[in-house]
Amino acid sequence: MGIGSLILTVLFALTVIGGSVYLLGAVIAMWRSPDAMSRLNQLSAGITVGVPALVVGNVILEFDQGTMTWGKGLTALLAIAALLGVATIASEVLGRAVLGARDGSGDDDK
């Protein structure tokens, strides 16, 4: 095992363990949050940081194994970009739905 492979293995471990711990922290924070709006904020933070770290860890592993291609790298970049876009929009929509349900403006029978 060369020094380069050792460095990549350590980077892989740090990104995967870091992403997993961040997601676990978000889950614990969601569990302890007092209301739905706070839970949505915790979910958004966990998804936008923890999951991309796991994708980056997978890219590092593919590179270390020698199976990394341009297509896999592009797929990882697109996955992270799509994840950040979808998580942002979903958090906004869910937040509006929670606030509408809370103040009564989401009722259809008016």
Find the DSSP H helices in 33-106: 36-65, 70-103
Phi, psi of 109 (to 5 degrees): -95, 25
- For the stretch 2-60, pLDDT in tens is 898 999 999 999 999 999 999 999 889 888 888 877 777 788 888 889 999 999 999 99
Of 40, 73, 71, 41, give the one whose Cα is nearest residue 59: 73
Q: Residue 95: its pLDDT value, please? A: 75
Phi, psi of 104 (to 5 degrees): 90, 0
Query: What whole-number distance in Å separates Cα of residue 62 and Cα of residue 11?
Result: 12
Q: Residue 65: its pLDDT value, please? A: 92
Q: Residue 64: its pLDDT value, please? A: 92
- Single pTM value for the model: 0.80
Please give the C-alpha separations between residue 18 and each of 8, 13, 24, 63, in angstroms, as whole numbers.
15, 8, 10, 19
